[in-house]
Amino acid sequence: MILILTSNTQPGSADFQKLMNHLDALPGIKTRVHTERGDEQTLTELYLIGNTKALDLEDMQNLPCVERVVRVSQEYRILGRHKGDDRPSHFDYNGVRFGQDTFHVFAGLCAVDTPEHVEMMMKAVAAAGQVCTRMGAYKPRTSPYAFQGHGKACLPYVFELAGKYGIKVIAMEITHESHLHEISEALHQTGNPTGVMLQIGTRNTQNFELLKIVGRQTEMPVLLKRGFGITLDESLNAAEYLASEGNRNVIFALRGMKTNMGDPHRNLVDFAHVPVVKRLTRMPVCIDPSHSVGTRAAGPDGILDVMHATAQGVAAGANMVLVDFHPVPTKALVDGPQALLMPELSHFLEDVQIAREAYLKRVELAARYNQQ
Amino acid sequence: MILILTSNTQPGSADFQKLMNHLDALPGIKTRVHTERGDEQTLTELYLIGNTKALDLEDMQNLPCVERVVRVSQEYRILGRHKGDDRPSHFDYNGVRFGQDTFHVFAGLCAVDTPEHVEMMMKAVAAAGQVCTRMGAYKPRTSPYAFQGHGKACLPYVFELAGKYGIKVIAMEITHESHLHEISEALHQTGNPTGVMLQIGTRNTQNFELLKIVGRQTEMPVLLKRGFGITLDESLNAAEYLASEGNRNVIFALRGMKTNMGDPHRNLVDFAHVPVVKRLTRMPVCIDPSHSVGTRAAGPDGILDVMHATAQGVAAGANMVLVDFHPVPTKALVDGPQALLMPELSHFLEDVQIAREAYLKRVELAARYNQQ
Amino acid sequence: MILILTSNTQPGSADFQKLMNHLDALPGIKTRVHTERGDEQTLTELYLIGNTKALDLEDMQNLPCVERVVRVSQEYRILGRHKGDDRPSHFDYNGVRFGQDTFHVFAGLCAVDTPEHVEMMMKAVAAAGQVCTRMGAYKPRTSPYAFQGHGKACLPYVFELAGKYGIKVIAMEITHESHLHEISEALHQTGNPTGVMLQIGTRNTQNFELLKIVGRQTEMPVLLKRGFGITLDESLNAAEYLASEGNRNVIFALRGMKTNMGDPHRNLVDFAHVPVVKRLTRMPVCIDPSHSVGTRAAGPDGILDVMHATAQGVAAGANMVLVDFHPVPTKALVDGPQALLMPELSHFLEDVQIAREAYLKRVELAARYNQQ
Amino acid sequence: MILILTSNTQPGSADFQKLMNHLDALPGIKTRVHTERGDEQTLTELYLIGNTKALDLEDMQNLPCVERVVRVSQEYRILGRHKGDDRPSHFDYNGVRFGQDTFHVFAGLCAVDTPEHVEMMMKAVAAAGQVCTRMGAYKPRTSPYAFQGHGKACLPYVFELAGKYGIKVIAMEITHESHLHEISEALHQTGNPTGVMLQIGTRNTQNFELLKIVGRQTEMPVLLKRGFGITLDESLNAAEYLASEGNRNVIFALRGMKTNMGDPHRNLVDFAHVPVVKRLTRMPVCIDPSHSVGTRAAGPDGILDVMHATAQGVAAGANMVLVDFHPVPTKALVDGPQALLMPELSHFLEDVQIAREAYLKRVELAARYNQQ
């Protein structure tokens, strides 16, 4: 059960104390306080955990400071959508808003290789009017003998170049808690020229210890990829690990399911789950067409499968796209064959724009019909 | 190897005889003749089967009557796209064209139950300006004790009502060769008021004997559903069974893959394969969002998941949509819970239209970029 | 609900008539009579279908001729095991007993190619003391251009050779209802020198029309392979199609599930389901290690994976093994690479014997512990 | 390429220096030294990484100190079996030998709950003549709100009780690198009364950072569970992460694949891969029937499915069994429903013994036939 307090309730106030005393006296109930400090107001939510079935909704609504009470279903307590739940489904980071109603493309390098390639990428992204990109410094690889990314060594130049080109947010995968500190430090040392969205890959979706540690910091938002061999429900529970530790600025990414039923694509694209995630949770939804499709094959209509998959996700309401580009794919150290080429960036963005506009029209249409 | 003859080549002509004599003399090569009679011209293709690797392309091109030679890859000989292959990817049936560049919605009843419901459906479809529908008379069911469809008993009124409302093509699943004759006869007895597209369901995708028999008739086109537990390649080979027996008027339908990784949807929607089927073969591609999604759940944007899945398929170039509607879903004998309601038909069609327009814009955009 | 009548109840007797009249008067209840004629006694079972929940168990037990009443669960009415259900789990065919407590190996040719190979196989099987074999005349193949079996042409010599070597039962796949008649006729014409167990392959597990027709004949028993892409429950329902039409002499075969998670095996071996099928139904359970494993690779212990998989199924109680052998695998027209060689037959049979003995010891051990 | 040096080669010797100088001079080749110190001799292996294709096998064999050269295939360099590779497939830990030819049962608690239950378990295991057990202190759970194990708090009493009952090795899952140190310290503080085999669970199979850190310590052996949604090849590559960092004392565990095709079992049991892992690598193979099967259901032969699955794995050569028991399953905090009961321990061990004996007989039989 969640008690949403009237905004700007002060933890030191007499009413708040009265409320807490009352809750402490409830048998078998523990209380966890979550405070969200915005620019204009502070929102406080109290999570009651334990035998909440025994509590009466009306009783709770009459307690001091309580504006509204939401009885949560068993799962996704914090990130989930519950009946009568109008908590926000967006957050701001480094001047960029991410929500279930926004849309951003993160075009960039799957794996950072050279400063030259990073700069070419940043420059192209900026020239196309974008403020987000993806850059891989830490790469989990199936074989221990494969290239594992340049790690912290590349962070300073990646961040500086981002700053130079006005990039506000870089999505960057981390595979170990130490990367958290390496990124923080490199940002600090370079004067915070950009922001980082921490990405958890599909092999670590159920690496709960990493999730807990990443969830304990609230400085950077988190992009959690769906596990490619587990159910959607299990992946959403994994997202809840982040939130239960304190960080609710979580974006959920679909990236295809691992099964040869997806052949000749690398994975079986699962973007029909875009509206499902938006219905079950308040997380913005990202799609990763590059890893889902994993090929540069094109249809007889001259459109790459990667673009088709992207358009599908976007036309159904995806809020973010993570897509691999590379200036010289043949020289890419990881996943070169699936990368788009620099001259394709503007085509890609225009194509995505058509799909996004179609989605917005579809929403308007539905609103009109649902009003009737 | 396929020899495409100059149009209107006469089988009785001296040149044709010369050609055939030459081919007959080739060691280890069998020849199969396929003739396509159109309104204005007759196209003849000769399929050379056997040790065609030993044949020289140029030699063959110099034979009498031969306009062009296509060396086919191992698979999908007839339905596949081969290098330098410009055979058509469309066909006409009962005045309606089906191709990789056309678009049709088949809204209708998953299972015919009463003449009243059939009429309500036909009327609504016609009022919405559509000339196609779906109607299930023969229903394969997991349990032998479940309702198996009204069978041939319902055919006369279904066909008559179709005629009454100007429906040109009804997609109708058959599960046994005898249904072929029952349908033909009922059409004949009712004066051919409409046309039927024979549908092979996902449980029969590899029922090769049924495919062969259906492929031997060329009166009605065939809609083949992908097998829900086999690879795409295996399902495309199944389509080739139809063509190898003579019927090339085949549409291939994606309908979701059977795995709990698709939960809470009934199947894992596989519409990212739309461009793949169009690239590998010359078949128009149909999507079946109703069985893929299998629920009436909606996103927070007020749009049903079924509509989102449809929009995804269409935005990537699907040529046909098979979708379940029902006047009174609670009274539907099969799959009621996933059916759309009659008042939702116009919303559905308008929504689909937005996605189709987006697709056409995307094609234009790609053409512009690919020209550069 | 099943009413099991006292043995040798005569359909013409007054008591039987009284019983039937009573049942006919029950509202919303239909009755289906099933009679099993053995050498010594005739068993009659009445299946009550419809609103049986309203019937009182004790009332029914007091009706004339009724020995025992079994309230069936929803699924697998006929083939399932229900509470208090002690109907037999075996049947006899051509002098051979097949039950949940028997054990038979069907070593033979995946596909019949030449009379010489058939004779070599039969001779070896007979020399090894076996009375069963497998012989494929009708082969469903993924591609329409692949060899599809010799069909009815080979039946006469296959049956005659079986007779010559004392083979009692041949497992033979059929893919179309016409094969049923072709087999019957060939058996008749050759003087019924052997028996045939009709096999339904994994691609036809849900070809319900074929199941119904095969189920309507009770001359030959049926071996139903599990569908390789559907749940166990769905495959068991398919078996029920056979029984619901009249043929209860059904053996259920496990043959591996289709997923690349089984690599480097051809399928993911599913023999842990052996005890599950025996618990849920009264069918004997067959395993098909050749198609499950699909390779001749061996472990460092010098034992082929095919033999390991077989031992696994048998050690857990499998009642039948279907296994591919070939005198000259390189000349086999279908699945040569997975076939065992003739000199391996005695090794295979001895290996299987060790596993069978282990199973019997395990059963004894369990009986001893469960008595305590 | 691996150069296996003559035993007791001294790193300081002139010959060794000559060898290293030669290798250092090879263009594009790096050398990694691995030394295995046994009681009687020291074995040194040199791993050549890089462009080894250019090296001549005979040239290398003629270098000083080199006893034998193995050209490794691309994958599983260290743990794999390569052509002509007779490196050992066993190791000793705390007085217990683990190899592809040994057999051990690890019966114990999935999750430690109380000292009383731990003692009851240890006592029973010891009374049954066993020296190994499993004890879960750190539990990864799908939901962040579920019990996550008692963690380091329970380690002292678990280790002391193990010592009291003569348990030599406890298999214990860890989910974070800090657990490594907690276990080491608790062992040290309690006077090393027992040994610990570090277990990596299926959700962490591709948590490469954890694998690297665990691989860097060589004090304790590692039990790596197969990933339940990835291919066998990918899981074997994960094992190679451990070895590539230095720890080769790795046991590989099969625990079932995640797919509803395994229903009504919790997972689709994959023990047919036992011989595959033994063929592809030199790792001993463990099976985990409790998590694979996940139910206490029994066949009509009175044998639990868990026991059937175990017998299957063991009859095909499994070297280790991890199995959940609990004194009071209804009070178990994790996975109670699948746990075996204390009185079933002796039945389980005798049942396993029958399967193990069958396996040994099968090996003998194969040896006899393969000699011929």
D180-214 confidence digits (pLDDT tens): 999 999 999 999 999 999 999 999 999 999 999 99
The DSSP result for A90-134, as a single string, is EEEETTEEEETT--EEEEEBSS---HHHHHHHHHHHHHTT--EEE
Across residues A291-304, what is the average pLDDT?
94
Across residues A42-48, what is the average pLDDT?
85
Determine the Cα–Cα distance for residues A80 and A83; give it in Å rounded to an integer. 10
Work out the minimum CA distance from C314 to partner chain D, whole angstroms.
9
pLDDT at B372 > cutoff 90: no
Among C237, C265, C273, C277, the residue to mutate for chain D (most D Cβ within 10 A): C273
pLDDT at B73 > cutoff 90: no
Under 8 Å CB pairs connecting chains A and B tally to: 195
- Determine whether the interchain pair C363/D303 forms a contact, defined as Cβ–Cβ distance below 8 Å: yes
- Determine whether the interchain pair A203/D206 forms a contact, defined as Cβ–Cβ distance below 8 Å: yes
Work out the minimum CA distance from C356 to partner chain D, whole angstroms.
9
Which pLDDT band holds residue A71 (cuts at 50, 70, 90)?
confident
pLDDT at B167 > cutoff 90: yes
Q: For residue D297, which residues of chain C lie inside 8 Å, CB to CB?
A: 276, 279
- Determine whether the interchain pair A275/B350 forms a contact, defined as Cβ–Cβ distance below 8 Å: no
Q: How many CA atoms are closer than 13 Å to the CA of C109, on its beta-carbon side?
A: 32
Tokens linked to B178: 């005898």
The reported pLDDT for the residue numbered D74 is: 61
- Determine whether the interchain pair A206/D77 forms a contact, defined as Cβ–Cβ distance below 8 Å: no
Could you give the ipTM of this predicted complex? Answer: 0.89
The answer to whether residue A299 neighbours chain B at the CB level (below 8 Å) is yes
- Determine whether the interchain pair A308/B232 forms a contact, defined as Cβ–Cβ distance below 8 Å: no
- Determine whether the interchain pair B207/C208 forms a contact, defined as Cβ–Cβ distance below 8 Å: no
Work out the minimum CA distance from A190 to partner chain D, whole angstroms.
27
Q: Which of C307, C344, C366 sits opposite D302 (nearest CB)?
A: C366
Across residues A362-372, what is the average pLDDT?
94
Among B230, B257, B258, B260, the residue to mutate for chain D (most D Cβ within 10 A): B260
- Determine whether the interchain pair B145/C208 forms a contact, defined as Cβ–Cβ distance below 8 Å: no
Across residues B204-208, what is the average pLDDT?
97
pLDDT at C244 > cutoff 80: yes
Among A258, A260, A267, the residue to mutate for chain C (most C Cβ within 10 A): A260
- Determine whether the interchain pair C175/B228 forms a contact, defined as Cβ–Cβ distance below 8 Å: no
Average pLDDT, chain D: 93
**Phi–psi pair at A109, nearest 5 degrees:** -90, 130
The answer to whether residue B352 neighbours chain A at the CB level (below 8 Å) is no
Q: Which chains touch C (3 or more CB pairs under 8 A)?
A: A, B, D
Residue C151, sorted as left (phi over 0), alpha (psi -120 to 50) or beta, turns out to be left
pLDDT at D50 > cutoff 70: yes
Contacts of the segment D123-131: beta carbons below 8 A, 24+ positions apart = D123/D165, D124/D325, D124/D342, D124/D345, D125/D165, D125/D167, D125/D345, D126/D165, D126/D166, D126/D167, D128/D345, D128/D346, D128/D349, D130/D104, D130/D105, D130/D167, D130/D349, D131/D96, D131/D166, D131/D167, D131/D168, D131/D169
Q: For residue C362, which residues of chain D lie inside 8 Å, CB to CB?
A: 301, 303, 307, 311, 351, 354-355
Give, for C363, the enclosing helix (H) or strand (E).
helix C345-371
Q: For residue D257, which residues of chain B lie inside 8 Å, CB to CB?
A: none
pLDDT at B332 > cutoff 80: yes
Q: Which chains touch D (3 or more CB pairs under 8 A)?
A: A, B, C
Q: How many CA atoms are closer than 13 Å to the CA of D23, on its beta-carbon side?
A: 27
Give the residue from C32, C72, C46, C98 showing the smallest Cα distance to C280: C72
Work out the minimum CA distance from C241 to partner chain B, whole angstroms.
5
Q: Mean pLDDT lowest for which of A183-187, B38-42, C188-192, C311-315?
A: B38-42
Which pLDDT band holds residue D54 (cuts at 50, 70, 90)?
confident
The answer to whether residue D142 neighbours chain A at the CB level (below 8 Å) is yes
Find the residue in C nearest to B179 (Cα).
C209
Find the residue in B nearest to A309 (Cα).
B272
Across residues A74-95, what is the average pLDDT?
86
- Determine whether the interchain pair B272/A271 forms a contact, defined as Cβ–Cβ distance below 8 Å: yes
Considering only residues 223 to 282 of chain A, which have any Cβ-Cβ distance to chain C shorter than 8 Å? 259-260
Average pLDDT, chain B: 93
Across residues C251-270, what is the average pLDDT?
96
Between C335 and B97, residue with greater pLDDT: B97
The answer to whether residue A28 neighbours chain D at the CB level (below 8 Å) is no
Q: Mean pLDDT lowest for which of B204-218, C311-325, D3-17, D147-161?
A: D3-17
Q: Which of C269, C278, C300 sits opposite D272 (nearest CB)?
A: C269
Average pLDDT, chain A: 93
Let me know: does C15 contact C84? Beta carbons within 8 Å.
no
Which pLDDT band holds residue B161 (cuts at 50, 70, 90)?
very high
The answer to whether residue B88 neighbours chain C at the CB level (below 8 Å) is no
A242-288 confidence digits (pLDDT tens): 999 999 999 999 999 999 999 999 999 999 999 999 999 999 999 99
The reported pLDDT for the residue numbered D349 is: 98
Which pLDDT band holds residue A83 (cuts at 50, 70, 90)?
confident
Determine the Cα–Cα distance for residues A265 and A309; give it in Å rounded to an integer. 11
Determine the Cα–Cα distance for residues B251 and A316; give it in Å rounded to an integer. 25
Kindly give the residue spans of alpha helices, DSSP state H, lying in D128-269.
155-164, 177-189, 208-216, 232-244
Q: Mean pLDDT lowest for which of A300-309, C8-17, C39-48?
A: C39-48
Q: For residue C209, which residues of chain B lie inside 8 Å, CB to CB?
A: 175-176
Q: For residue C296, which residues of chain D lie inside 8 Å, CB to CB?
A: none
Strand partners, D66: D5
Determine the Cα–Cα distance for residues A20 and A31; give it in Å rounded to an integer. 8
Q: For residue C49, which residues of chain B lie inside 8 Å, CB to CB?
A: 145
The reported pLDDT for the residue numbered B74 is: 62
Residues with Cβ within 8 Å of residue A141, at least 6 apart in sequence: A147, A148, A334, D208
Among D2, D79, D179, D208, the residue to mutate for chain A (most A Cβ within 10 A): D208
- Determine whether the interchain pair B297/A303 forms a contact, defined as Cβ–Cβ distance below 8 Å: no
Work out the minimum CA distance from B80 to partner chain A, whole angstroms.
12
Helix/strand/coil (H/E/C) assignment for every residue in C102-124: CCEEEEEECCCCCHHHHHHHHHH
Determine the Cα–Cα distance for residues D259 and A14; give it in Å rounded to an integer. 54
Would you say the C-alpha torsion B331, B332, B338, B342 has a positive or negative sign?
negative
The reported pLDDT for the residue numbered D38 is: 67
- Determine whether the interchain pair B265/A278 forms a contact, defined as Cβ–Cβ distance below 8 Å: no
- Determine whether the interchain pair B232/A259 forms a contact, defined as Cβ–Cβ distance below 8 Å: no
Computed on alpha carbons and rounded to an integer, the radius of gyration of chain D in Å comes to 22
The answer to whether residue B365 neighbours chain A at the CB level (below 8 Å) is yes
DSSP 8-state symbol, A227: P
Find the residue in C nearest to D369 (Cα).
C347
pLDDT at C306 > cutoff 90: yes
Q: For residue C241, which residues of chain B lie inside 8 Å, CB to CB?
A: 144
Across residues C354-368, what is the average pLDDT?
98
Q: For residue A100, which residues of chain B lie inside 8 Å, CB to CB?
A: 300
Which pLDDT band holds residue C73 (cuts at 50, 70, 90)?
low
Determine the Cα–Cα distance for residues D300 and C280; give it in Å rounded to an integer. 9
Across residues D202-228, what is the average pLDDT?
97
Cα C344–Cα C347–Cα C349 angle in degrees, nearest 5:
110
Determine the Cα–Cα distance for residues D143 and A234; give it in Å rounded to an integer. 8
Q: Which of D145, D228, D244 sits opposite A144 (nearest CB)?
A: D244
Find the residue in B nearest to A343 (Cα).
B369
The reported pLDDT for the residue numbered B1 is: 85
Work out the minimum CA distance from B300 to partner chain C, whole angstroms.
33
pTM: 0.90
Work out the minimum CA distance from B306 to partner chain C, whole angstroms.
23
Work out the minimum CA distance from D140 to partner chain A, whole angstroms.
7
Side chain identity at residue A142, one-letter code: T
Find the residue in C nearest to A229 (Cα).
C261
pLDDT at B58 > cutoff 90: no
Q: For residue B260, which residues of chain D lie inside 8 Å, CB to CB?
A: 259-260
pLDDT at B96 > cutoff 70: yes
Across residues C64-82, what is the average pLDDT?
84
